[in-house]
C-alpha cells in the first residue's frame, strides 16, 4: 500500500515537470494559436544555455535562471518579431511548418556546437537532497521544487491575465486580433511579448532539465510530446488545465510503470487518447476554434 | 474543389524528360570533376565509410573526423601494393542513426561511388544494414562496435557457412556476461542483482532468458530482480527503486541510455537506495557522460572495450593506446572515448588487407586478403580465422571502475577485472560505491 502511495506521489512530481514543459506551449497556443513544434528543442537550448552559464562563471546551478530566463525571453521576442510574425493569420499549417524547420535547425546547430555528448549541470547536494515524509516515502527536494515552480508559474500567469493590462491585451488579441487592434492594441507586439513570456517559462523548464538529468541535442522531441499531450488533456487555452494535464500524465505514467516498466509511457499515451475520445476539447477548454 | 498534388509537375515536363535532364546534369558534373573517371577508378583505392554522424547515435561518431584526418596523413601519397604506389580515398556517409539510411548510404557508396571496400561501425543499426548491402552487391566490408551475436545472427548468419563478403570484429554477449559476473565476485555481496534493461535491441538481448544474463546469473547463484523492459526515455524510476530496496538489491546492472541512467541515479540518491556495485553499460562508457553525472559517478563500473592503458598499439601510426588518446585530446580538446580506437582499427584492418590485395578493382582478391587478416591492432589482435563463427574476430573485454586518483582530481577509468582478457593488466581493486 505504502508503495502505491509512494508511486503516486513520485508520479505527481514527474507530472510537475511535464506541466512546466507544457505551460509555455499552452501560452503560445492560447494567445497566438501557434503550435510550436520546436518547443522541446527550445527547452534543450535553454538547458545548454544554463550549462554554458554555469561552466563559464561557476555560478550555482539555480542561479543560472537569472541569466537563462532573460536570455530566452529576448530570444522569444526576437523569434516572434523576426520570423514567426510572417506566419500569423496564415492558418495552422504555416507556423507548424516553420517551427518544424526551426526544430531541425536547432537540433543540428546544437549538435554542431555542443557535440553529441550527454551533458549535465552539477547542482551538488540539491540533486539528491530529500525529505522523508513517512517511513518508506522520501521526496526529493528538486522534484518538489520543480512541481512548486510549475504551480507558481501557472498561478502567476493567471494573475497576469486577470489583473494586468498586458494580460487583458493578451486575452483580447487572442479572442479577436482585428477588434483588439481597433482599440489601439498592436497585435504583433502582443504576440512578441507573449512569445517572450513563453520562452521565459521554457527557460525555467530548461534549467531544471539540465540539473535533473543529463541531456543531449536530440532530447527535444520527446519533451515536446509530453508538453503537447499535457496541453491537450488540460484543454486548449486553460493554464490550470495544462497543469492538471501534466499531473495526470505523470500519474498515469507512474501507475503504468509500476504495473510493468514497459507500460509506463504507453499508459500516459493511452490516457491522452482516452481524454481525446471522451472530451475532444480537453478537460477544461477555454478557447474555441475560430 | 480543385485537386492538386504537391508532386505534380509543370505541364510539358514529363517524368522521362526530368530523368534525362537529371542524368545529363549528373554526367556533366562527373565529367568536369573527374576528367577521366575510369582511369582514376582503376588507380585509386576508394574506401566507403558509413557512420552515424547525426541522430541519437552521434556520440559514437564524435571521433570520425579526427580518425579520417589521421589515417589520410598516415597514408600520405598512397599505400604500396605489389610494388606500386596506390593513392587511397575515403568517402564518408552519414547514416543519420537510422538503419534505412545506413543501407541507402552503403548502396550509394557501392553503386554511385564504386568503392572498393566499405567500413562501418556503431551498433547493429549501422553495421547490419551496411554489411547486408555489401553482401548483396559483392563488395568487401569490414565492421565493428556491435556485439558479434546481434551482428552475425541478427543478419541470419549460419555458423556452418558464414558470409562471403562481410567481416566483423568485436566482443560478444558471453564476454559481457563473463566480465560482469567476474567483476561482481570481487566484492562480498548478497548476490542480489537488479536490472535496468530498456525495451530496445540491447536491453532485450541482455535480458533474454536464453542467451542473456538470466540463465548465467541463476547458474552462478545470483538472485535477479527484473521488473521488465522499460521504455526509454523514462522520467521516473520509482517503481524500480521500490522493488530494489524491498528485495535488498546490492548490485545494479543494465544497458541504459545516459539520460535514463542519470535520472535513475539521481532518484536513487533522493530515495535512499544505496547499492554496493552499479555496472551499467552504455551510460557509463563515455567519459563525457560520466562528467555529466558529476561527483556521484565515482565508483560506477562498466565494461571496457578499449582504454588508454590497453597494451596495444596502432599498426598504422605506431601510436600506443595512450598516445592515440593524447593525440585526440590535443587535436580536438575532447577526452578519449572507446569508439575512437575502434574507428581507427577499422582503417588499420582495411589498409592492411589492401596492401596484401591485387590492387583496386579486384574485389575477390581484397576479400581473400581480409579473410586472411592476422593483425595486431590498437584494439587487440584481429584474425577472422579464429572467431567463434566464420567472418568474426573477437576483441578483448575487461571491466573498469571510475575512481578518483586523489581528492580534487577528475574521475579516471581504471581496469579492475580482466577475467575474460588476461593480457590486459588490472590497475586497481574494485571498491564498493561510496
Looking at residue B23, what is its pLDDT? 44
Looking at residue A90, what is its pLDDT? 82
Determine whether the interchain pair B236/A10 forms a contact, defined as Cβ–Cβ distance below 8 Å: yes
Question: Is residue A287 situated within a structural domain?
Answer: no
Q: CB neighbours (10 Å) of residue B65?
A: 13
Residue A176: band (very low, low, confident or very high) from pLDDT cuts 50, 70, 90: confident
Looking at residue B18, what is its pLDDT? 43
Residues of chain B with CATH 3.40.50.2300: 35-171+309-393, 174-304+404-417
Q: How confident is the model over A57-95, as pLDDT tens digits?
A: 999 999 999 999 999 999 999 999 999 999 887 888 899
Determine whether the interchain pair A127/B266 forms a contact, defined as Cβ–Cβ distance below 8 Å: yes
Dist. CA A263–CA A251, nearest whole Å: 13
Dist. CA B290–CA B293, nearest whole Å: 5
pLDDT over 90 at B17, yes or no: no
pLDDT over 70 at A110, yes or no: yes
| Mean pLDDT of the A127-156 span | 93
> Does A230 contact B at CB distance below 8 Å?
no
Dist. CA A24–CA A9, nearest whole Å: 24
- The count of domains in chain A is 1
Q: How confident is the model over B298-333, as pLDDT tens digits?
A: 999 999 999 999 999 999 999 999 999 999 999 999
Looking at residue A1, what is its pLDDT? 83
Q: Out of A6, A10, A261, whose CB is closest to B230?
A: A261
- Please answer whether residues B191 and B222 qualify as being in contact, where contact means their C-beta atoms are separated by less than 8 angstroms: yes
pLDDT over 80 at A48, yes or no: yes
Structural domain B35-171+309-393, CATH architecture: 3-Layer(aba) Sandwich (3.40)
Looking at residue A133, what is its pLDDT? 87
Looking at residue B53, what is its pLDDT? 92
> Does B381 contact A at CB distance below 8 Å?
no
> Does A260 contact B at CB distance below 8 Å?
yes
| Mean pLDDT of the B126-130 span | 96
Is the whole-model pTM more than 0.90? Answer: no
Determine whether the interchain pair B238/A7 forms a contact, defined as Cβ–Cβ distance below 8 Å: yes
Which regions of B273-406 does DSSP assign to beta strands (E)? 277-281, 301-304, 374-377, 380-383, 392-393, 398-403
> Does A250 contact B at CB distance below 8 Å?
yes
| Mutation choice for A interface testing from B270, B283, B284, B286 by most A CBs within 10 A | B270
Question: Is residue A289 situated within a structural domain?
Answer: no
| Mean pLDDT of the B248-274 span | 94
Q: Chain B closest CA to A11's CA: distance in Å? A: 7
Dist. CA A79–CA A102, nearest whole Å: 10
Q: What ipTM was assigned to the predicted interfaces of this complex? A: 0.91
By CA distance, what is B61's nearest residue in A?
Answer: A116
As a whole-number percent, the residues of chain A with pLDDT over 70 amount to 98
pLDDT over 50 at B28, yes or no: no
Looking at residue A134, what is its pLDDT? 86
B-chain CB neighbours of A111 within 8 Å are 54, 58
As a whole-number percent, the residues of chain B with pLDDT over 90 amount to 80
> Does A178 contact B at CB distance below 8 Å?
no
Extract the C-alpha cell encoding B426: 588490472
Q: How confident is the model over B290-299, as pLDDT tens digits?
A: 988 989 999 9
Q: Which residues contact A163 (CB under 8 A, 6 or more apart)?
A: none
Question: Is residue A290 situated within a structural domain?
Answer: no
* Cis, bond preceding B79 (omega within 30 deg of 0): no
String of DSSP letters for B171-183: --HHHHHHHHHHH
pLDDT over 50 at B4, yes or no: no
- Please answer whether residues B325 and B385 qualify as being in contact, where contact means their C-beta atoms are separated by less than 8 angstroms: no
Looking at residue B296, what is its pLDDT? 93
| Mean pLDDT of the A274-284 span | 90
pLDDT over 90 at A205, yes or no: yes
pLDDT over 80 at B145, yes or no: yes
B-chain CB neighbours of A222 within 8 Å are 233
Question: Is residue A264 situated within a structural domain?
Answer: yes
Integer distance in angstroms from the first to the last C-alpha of chain B?
71
Question: Is residue A124 situated within a structural domain?
Answer: no
Structural domain B174-304+404-417, CATH architecture: 3-Layer(aba) Sandwich (3.40)
As a whole-number percent, the residues of chain A with pLDDT over 90 amount to 75
Window from A18-27, A129-138, A207-216, A247-256 with minimum mean pLDDT:
A129-138
Determine whether the interchain pair A119/B228 forms a contact, defined as Cβ–Cβ distance below 8 Å: no
| CATH assignment at residue A77 | 1.10.3470
| Mean pLDDT of the B111-124 span | 95
A-chain CB neighbours of B295 within 8 Å are 122, 124
**In 3-state terms, what secondary structure has residue B197?**
coil
> Does B162 contact A at CB distance below 8 Å?
no
Looking at residue B9, what is its pLDDT? 40
Q: Out of B54, B259, B271, whose CB is closest to A213?
A: B259
Mean pLDDT of chain A: 92
- Please answer whether residues A282 and A236 qualify as being in contact, where contact means their C-beta atoms are separated by less than 8 angstroms: yes
Q: Which domain holds residue A203?
A: 2-119+131-278
Question: Is residue A197 situated within a structural domain?
Answer: yes
Dist. CA B151–CA B129, nearest whole Å: 10
Phi first, then psi, for residue B69 (nearest 5°) are -60, -40
Question: Is residue A97 situated within a structural domain?
Answer: yes
A-chain CB neighbours of B228 within 8 Å are 260-262
The dihedral of CA A55, A59, A64, A68: what is its sign? Answer: negative
Dist. CA B61–CA B83, nearest whole Å: 35
String of DSSP letters for chain A: -HHHHHHHHHHHHHHHHHHHHHHHHHHHHHHH----TTHHHHHHHHHHHHHHHHHHH---GGGHHHHHHHHHHHHHHHHHHHTGGGGTTSTTHHHHHHHHHHHHHHHHHHHHHH-S--B----GGGGT-EEEEETTEEEEHHHHHHHHHHHHHHHHHHHHHHHSHHHHHHHHHHH-HHHHHHTT--HHHHHHHHHHHHHHHHHHHHHHHHHHS-B-TT-HHHHHHHHHHHHHHH-TT-HHHHHHHHHHHHHHHHHHHHH-GGGHHHHHHHHHHHHHHH-TT-SS------
Q: How confident is the model over B212-236, as pLDDT tens digits?
A: 999 999 999 999 999 999 998 899 9
- Please answer whether residues B51 and B64 qualify as being in contact, where contact means their C-beta atoms are separated by less than 8 angstroms: yes
A-chain CB neighbours of B272 within 8 Å are 130, 138
pLDDT over 80 at A274, yes or no: yes
B-chain CB neighbours of A210 within 8 Å are none
Residue B119: band (very low, low, confident or very high) from pLDDT cuts 50, 70, 90: very high
Q: How far is residue A170 from each of residues A164, A233, B39, measured CA to CA in Å?
A: 10, 22, 69
Dist. CA A37–CA A87, nearest whole Å: 14
Nearest by Cα to B77 from B65, B89, B60: B89
> Does B191 contact A at CB distance below 8 Å?
no
Q: Out of B56, B62, B231, whose CB is closest to A262?
A: B231
- The residues facing B255 across adjacent strands are B281
Question: Is residue A241 situated within a structural domain?
Answer: yes
Q: Out of B236, B242, B262, whose CB is closest to A214?
A: B262
Q: Chain A closest CA to B327's CA: distance in Å? A: 19
Residue B200: band (very low, low, confident or very high) from pLDDT cuts 50, 70, 90: confident
As a whole-number percent, the residues of chain B with pLDDT over 70 amount to 90
pLDDT over 70 at B10, yes or no: no
- Please answer whether residues B149 and B205 qualify as being in contact, where contact means their C-beta atoms are separated by less than 8 angstroms: yes
- Total residues belonging to chain B: 434
- The residues facing B253 across adjacent strands are B195, B279
More confident residue, A288 or B174: B174
**In 3-state terms, what secondary structure has residue B409?**
coil
pLDDT over 50 at A216, yes or no: yes
| Mutation choice for B interface testing from A97, A117, A215 by most B CBs within 10 A | A117
Mean pLDDT of chain B: 89
Nearest by Cα to B181 from B216, B227, B225: B216
Amino acid at each position: 500500500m505504502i508503495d502505491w502511495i509512494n508511486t503516486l506521489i513520485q508520479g505527481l512530481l514527474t507530472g510537475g515537470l511535464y506541466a512546466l514543459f507544457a505551460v509555455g506551449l499552452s501560452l503560445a497556443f492560447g494567445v497566438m494559436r501557434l503550435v510550436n513544434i520546436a518547443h522541446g528543442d527550445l527547452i534543450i537550448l535553454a538547458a545548454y544555455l544554463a550549462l554554458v552559464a554555469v561552466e563559464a562563471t561557476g555560478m550555482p546551478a539555480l542561479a543560472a535562471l537569472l541569466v537563462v530566463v532573460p536570455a530566452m525571453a529576448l530570444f522569444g521576442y526576437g523569434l516572434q518579431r523576426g520570423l514567426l510574425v510572417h506566419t500569423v493569420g496564415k492558418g495552422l499549417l504555416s507556423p507548424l511548418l516553420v517551427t518544424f524547420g526551426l526544430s531541425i535547425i536547432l537540433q543540428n546547430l546544437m549538435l554542431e556546437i555542443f557535440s553529441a555528448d550527454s551533458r549535465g549541470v552539477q547542482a551538488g547536494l540539491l540533486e539528491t537532497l530529500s525529505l522523508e515524509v513517512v517511513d518508506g516515502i522520501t521526496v526529493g527536494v528538486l522534484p518538489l521544487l520543480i512541481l512548486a515552480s510549475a504551480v507558481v508559474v501557472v498561478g502567476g500567469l493567471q494573475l497576469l491575465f486577470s489583473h494586468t493590462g498586458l494580460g487583458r491585451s493578451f486575452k483580447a488579441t487572442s479572442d479577436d486580433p482585428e477588434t483588439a487592434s481597433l482599440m489601439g492594441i498592436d497585435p504583433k507586439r502582443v504576440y512578441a511579448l507573449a512569445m517572450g513570456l513563453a520562452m521565459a517559462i521554457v527557460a525555467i523548464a530548461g534549467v531544471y532539465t539540465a540539473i535533473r538529468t543529463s541531456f543531449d541535442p536530440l532530447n527535444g522531441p520527446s519533451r515536446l510530446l509530453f508538453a503537447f499531450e499535457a496541453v491537450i488533456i488540460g484543454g486548449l487555452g486553460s493554464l490550470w488545465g495544462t497543469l492538471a494535464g501534466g499531473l495526470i500524465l505523470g500519474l498515469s505514467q507512474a501507475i503504468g510503470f509500476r504495473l510493468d516498466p514497459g507500460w509506463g509511457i504507453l499508459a500516459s499515451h493511452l490516457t491522452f487518447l482516452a481524454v481525446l475520445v471522451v472530451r475532444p476539447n480537453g478537460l477544461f477548454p477555454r478557447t474555441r476554434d475560430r | 474543389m480543385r485537386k492538386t498534388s504537391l508532386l505534380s509537375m509543370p505541364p510539358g515536363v514529363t517524368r522521362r524528360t526530368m530523368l534525362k535532364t537529371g542524368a545529363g546534369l549528373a554526367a556533366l558534373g562527373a565529367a568536369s570533376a573527374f576528367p577521366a573517371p575510369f582511369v582514376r577508378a582503376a588507380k585509386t583505392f576508394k574506401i566507403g565509410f558509413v557512420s552515424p554522424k547525426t541522430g541519437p547515435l552521434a556520440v559514437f561518431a564524435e571521433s570520425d573526423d579526427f580518425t579520417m584526418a589521421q589515417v589520410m596523413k598516415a597514408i600520405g601519397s598512397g599505400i604500396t601494393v605489389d610494388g606500386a604506389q596506390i593513392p587511397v580515398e575515403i568517402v564518408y556517409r552519414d547514416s543519420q542513426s537510422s538503419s534505412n539510411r545506413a543501407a541507402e548510404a552503403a548502396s550509394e557508396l557501392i553503386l554511385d561511388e564504386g568503392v572498393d571496400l566499405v567500413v562501418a561501425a556503431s551498433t547493429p543499426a549501422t553495421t547490419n544494414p551496411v554489411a547486408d548491402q555489401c553482401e548483396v552487391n559483392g563488395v568487401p566490408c569490414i565492421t565493428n562496435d556491435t556485439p558479434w551475436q546481434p551482428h552475425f545472427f541478427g543478419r541470419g548468419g549460419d555458423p556452418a557457412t558464414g558470409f562471403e563478403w562481410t567481416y566483423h570484429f568485436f566482443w560478444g554477449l558471453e564476454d559481457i556476461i563473463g566480465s560482469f559476473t567476474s567483476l561482481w565476485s570481487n566484492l562480498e555481496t548478497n548476490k542480489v542483482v537488479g536490472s535496468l534493461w530498456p525495451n530496445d535491441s540491447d536491453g532485450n538481448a541482455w535480458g533474454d532468458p536464453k542467451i542473456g544474463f538470466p540463465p548465467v546469473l541463476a547458474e552462478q547463484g545470483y538472485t535477479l530482480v527484473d521488473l521488465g523492459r522499460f521504455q526509454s526515455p523514462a522520467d521516473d524510476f520509482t517503481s524500480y527503486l521500490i522493488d530494489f530496496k524491498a528485495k535488498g538489491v546490492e548490485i545494479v546492472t543494465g544497458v541504459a541510455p545516459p539520460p535514463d541512467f542519470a535520472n535513475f541515479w539521481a532518484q536513487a540518491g533522493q530515495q535512499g537506495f544505496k547499492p554496493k556495485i552499479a555496472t551499467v553499460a552504455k551510460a557509463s562508457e563515455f567519459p563525457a557522460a560520466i562528467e555529466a553525472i558529476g561527483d556521484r559517478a565515482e565508483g560506477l563500473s562498466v565494461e571496457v572495450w578499449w582504454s588508454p592503458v590497453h597494451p596495444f598499439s596502432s599498426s598504422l601510426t605506431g601510436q600506443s593506446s595512450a598516445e592515440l588518446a593524447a593525440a585526440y585530446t590535443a587535436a580536438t580538446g575532447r577526452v578519449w572515448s572507446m569508439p575512437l580506437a575502434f574507428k581507427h582499427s577499422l582503417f588499420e584492418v582495411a589498409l592492411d588487407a589492401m596492401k596484401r590485395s591485387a590492387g583496386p578493382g579486384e574485389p575477390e582478391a581484397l576479400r581473400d586478403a581480409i579473410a586472411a587478416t592476422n593483425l595486431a591492432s590498437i584494439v587487440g589482435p584481429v584474425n577472422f580465422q579464429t572467431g567463434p563463427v566464420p567472418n568474426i574476430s573477437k576483441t578483448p573485454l575487461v571491466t573498469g571502475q571510475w575512481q578518483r586518483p586523489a581528492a580534487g582530481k577528475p574521475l579516471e577509468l581504471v581496469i579492475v577485472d580482466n577475467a575474460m582478457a588476461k593480457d590486459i593488466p588490472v590497475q586497481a581493486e574494485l571498491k564498493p560505491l561510496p
